[in-house]
């Protein structure tokens, strides 16, 4: 697998990572442990060295799964997890990036992952109740203590990134970015390039939408978060079908799947982009990993980008309470 550098001074990682969330959270019931472990180890065998989890995935069980799966190859992989939520049993999670909470939950993540350090620790969402300098300073101290390798942020706005970076250089930003959601291109990407911060697009397949497998009218079960996401409601979803049809037809011509085209387009945007597609399915893992070898011509890239230009990006991505947490 081709590799890329994770930020200016970061480690080399596979150009595509593996988002592990869906194995435990977000797209229906968790997969059995044995299947999740087998899939993650299959990813390692395919050359994937960058794995993404978070405290809230499950909650907690995804970190345990990732830790178990990667234990035999711990020194050969980069494990990223995230802090920043108060996990409230029976109630929605709330933001919490207070220093004592960060320190306590990072210790718990280390235990669940079964590691002595976390390679990349993201703040999952900016907490307006805590000065950015305090959160970044806490991560800086955890890095100095050897518990954390690098600092990441997620869905942070430009001002928050700059404030954090001044205290503790940021290794990577993980935010939603795909053919279906290109807002980061306006201000975020240029800032990251200026500061030498890697960009790790989450939901690079548009949570499945860009793969062509989300058919018109398809309903999601309640435990699938897409049942609550405005962009998955009709008729909005159908309006964006043209984009999926275009990448499917280009894929047909060059013998690639729509998912592979969506990933190849992202990889072609900038050398510091490292997408983390997720799947619970081993044949899709193989398909997604092979996207690093898909080359799009300049004409195809331009046609795909032009089709993506037509997507309406004024719609919220999340229900109101979660939408308020992004791009701060």
Ligand X SMILES: NC(=O)c1ccc[n+]([C@@H]2O[C@H](COP(=O)([O-])OP(=O)(O)OC[C@H]3O[C@@H](n4cnc5c(N)ncnc54)[C@H](OP(=O)(O)O)[C@@H]3O)[C@@H](O)[C@H]2O)c1
Residues forming the active site: 57
Can you name the residues that pair with 123 across neighbouring β-strands?
83, 153
* Residue 193 to residue 172: CA distance in whole angstroms: 11
* Residue 192 to residue 196: CA distance in whole angstroms: 6
Q: Among residues 231, 237, 284, 317, which is the contact residue for ligand X, using CB under 6 A?
A: 284
Least distance (Å) from ligand X to the CB of residue 184? 13
- Contact call for residue 55 and ligand X (CB under 6 A): no
* Residue 213 to residue 127: CA distance in whole angstroms: 35
Least distance (Å) from ligand X to the CB of residue 218? 11
- Contact call for residue 119 and ligand X (CB under 6 A): no
Q: Could you tell me whether strands 85-86 and 94-95 are parallel, antiparallel, or unpaired per DSSP bridges?
A: antiparallel
Least distance (Å) from ligand X to the CB of residue 136? 17
- Contact call for residue 276 and ligand X (CB under 6 A): yes
* Residue 263 to residue 245: CA distance in whole angstroms: 16
Task: Between 298 and 320, name the residue whose CB sits nearer to ligand X.
Answer: 320
- Contact call for residue 287 and ligand X (CB under 6 A): yes
Q: How many residues bind ligand X (CB under 6 A)?
A: 28
Strands (DSSP E) contained in the chain are 3-5, 12-14, 18-19, 50-52, 78-83, 85-86, 94-95, 118-123, 148-154, 170-176, 198-202
Tokens 């109630």 correspond to 91
- Contact call for residue 36 and ligand X (CB under 6 A): no
Binding part of the chain for ligand X, among 41-49, 71-79, 184-192, 272-280 by CB under 6 A, reads 272-280
Tell me 149's DSSP state. Answer: E
Least distance (Å) from ligand X to the CB of residue 24? 9
Q: Under rule CB under 6 A, which residues in 232-271 are in contact with ligand X?
A: 259
Least distance (Å) from ligand X to the CB of residue 287? 4
Least distance (Å) from ligand X to the CB of residue 20? 6
Site pattern 61..80 for ligand X (x: CB under 6 A) = --------------------
**Cis peptide leading into residue 59 (ω within 30°):** yes
* Residue 218 to residue 215: CA distance in whole angstroms: 5
Binding part of the chain for ligand X, among 13-21, 97-105, 159-167, 186-194 by CB under 6 A, reads 13-21
- Contact call for residue 14 and ligand X (CB under 6 A): no
Neighbours of 287 (CB within 10 A): 18
Task: Between 218 and 298, name the residue whose CB sits nearer to ligand X.
Answer: 218
- Contact call for residue 290 and ligand X (CB under 6 A): no
Tell me 187's DSSP state. Answer: T
Tokens 């690098």 correspond to 150
Binding part of the chain for ligand X, among 4-12, 17-25, 145-153, 311-319 by CB under 6 A, reads 17-25
Contact criterion met (CB below 8 Å) for 107 and 143? no
Q: Among residues 278, 292, 294, 300, which is the contact residue for ligand X, using CB under 6 A?
A: 278
Q: What are φ and ψ of residue 173, in 5° steps?
A: -110, 130
Binding-site ranges for ligand X (CB under 6 A): 19-22, 27, 52, 154-155, 174, 202-208, 211, 213, 259, 276-281, 284, 287-288
């Amino acid at each position: 697998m081709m590799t890329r550098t994770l930020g200016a001074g970061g480690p080399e990682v596979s150009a595509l990572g593996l988002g592990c969330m869906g194995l435990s959270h977000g797209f229906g019931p968790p997969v059995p442990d044995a299947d999740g472990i087998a899939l993650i180890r299959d990813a390692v065998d395919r050359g994937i060295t960058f794995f993404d989890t978070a405290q809230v995935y499950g909650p907690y069980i995804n970190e345990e799964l990732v830790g178990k799966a990667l234990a035999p190859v711990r020194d050969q992989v980069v494990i990223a997890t995230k802090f920043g939520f108060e996990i409230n049993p029976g109630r929605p999670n709330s933001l919490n990036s207070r220093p004592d909470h960060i320190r306590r939950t990072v210790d718990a993540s280390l235990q669940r992952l079964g590691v002595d350090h976390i390679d990349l620790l993201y703040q999952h969402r900016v907490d307006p109740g805590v000065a950015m300098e305090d959160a970044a300073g806490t991560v800086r101290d955890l890095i100095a203590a050897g518990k954390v390798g690098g600092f990441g942020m997620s869905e942070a706005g430009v001002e928050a990134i700059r404030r954090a970076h001044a205290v503790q250089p940021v290794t990577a930003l993980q935010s939603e970015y795909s053919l279906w959601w290109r807002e980061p291109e306006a201000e975020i990407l240029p800032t990251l390039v200026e500061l030498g911060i890697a960009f790790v697009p989450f939901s690079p397949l548009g949570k499945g939408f860009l793969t062509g497998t989300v058919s018109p009218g398809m309903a999601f079960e309640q435990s699938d978060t897409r049942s609550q996401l405005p962009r998955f409601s009709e008729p909005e979803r159908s309006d964006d079908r043209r984009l999926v049809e275009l990448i499917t037809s280009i894929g047909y011509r060059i013998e690639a799947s729509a998912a592979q085209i969506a990933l190849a387009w992202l990889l072609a945007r900038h050398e510091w982009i490292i997408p983390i597609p997720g799947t619970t399915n081993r044949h899709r893992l193989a398909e997604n990993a092979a996207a690093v070898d898909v080359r799009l011509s300049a004409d195809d890239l331009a046609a795909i980008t032009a089709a993506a230009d037509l997507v309406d990006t004024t719609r919220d991505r999340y229900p109101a309470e979660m939408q308020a947490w992004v791009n701060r």
